Chain A
Amino acid sequence: GAVVSQHPSWVICKSGTSVKIECRSLDFQATTMFWYRQFPKQSLMLMATSNEGSKATYEQGVEKDKFLINHASLTLSTLTVTSAHPEDSSFYICSARGQGTTSGELFFGEGSRLTVL
């Protein structure tokens, strides 16, 4: 099946710094990528939808200026957590829908665990 790669898989940073997480589709072109946040023992909460070449669409309650999303190519989307604080510590997961894939079929990355000290 299609492979979505996330990097880094885990990151620890100091409060106030910015962290960038990459999401790559390795064997297909992803016109749309999604960024989710998952707290321990909870479901995935959609943060934003990233479309190649256009601005991301953020879900209600998600701060656009804090969670910067860039989808500059058909294989790469990045999520930058700016001025991170301990409450931003979470598991961030990206997913991708490729060109021509079945409606609703998503391929997920392995997730990136962010810990803000």
Chain B
Amino acid sequence: QQQVKQSPQSLIVQKGGISIINCAYENTAFDYFPWYQQFPGKGPALLIAIRPDVSEKKEGRFTISFNKSAKQFSLHIMDSQPGDSATYFCAASSGGYQKVTFGTGTKLQVIP
């Protein structure tokens, strides 16, 4: 119930391409879905987040698509750059906020 499944485990994208990472959840009580970016040896940093009352949120080159009925959400990175190379974690939490459940992570490599 508390799991958040993330795929793919790793991803290689050419510079300028679109990176797509997918997540799925089971717990319908989740109402906040953030994405975190983590560089090696550093803590995660919030990238973008969405709530289930909207189907899409865009911030710069980053877009979250949310499908409430399918209990899936995805991160799209447009015009991917080498500096985007990092590990990305999707996550979910429920209202009243107690804790965040993380996905398994996707290591993204953007090659020139």
Contact = CB atoms under 8 A, between A and B. Distances in A.
Interface of A: 1, 4, 6, 32, 34, 41-44, 46, 49, 91, 93, 95, 97, 102-111, 113
Contact of A104 (B45, B49, B89, B103): B49
A109 B99 CA distance: 16
Nearest to B6: A43
A34 to B, nearest CB: 6
B31 A42 contact: no
B102 interface: yes
Contact of A49 (B43, B44, B98, B102): B98
Contact of B44 (A41, A102, A108): A108
Interface string B25-54: 000000110101000011111100100000
B34 A105 contact: yes
20 contacts: A42-B104, A42-B105, A43-B103, A44-B44, A44-B102, A46-B100, A103-B97, A104-B31, A104-B32, A104-B49, A104-B93, A106-B34, A106-B46, A106-B100, A107-B46, A108-B43, A108-B46, A111-B41, A111-B42, A113-B41
Contact of A103 (B31, B36, B45, B104): B31
Given A104-B34, A104-B49, A43 B43 contact: no
A4 B42 CA distance: 12
B112 interface: no
Contacts of A109: 43
A46 B44 CA distance: 14
A110 B43 CA distance: 4
A17 B41 CA distance: 24
Given A103-B32, A103-B93, A111 B43 contact: yes
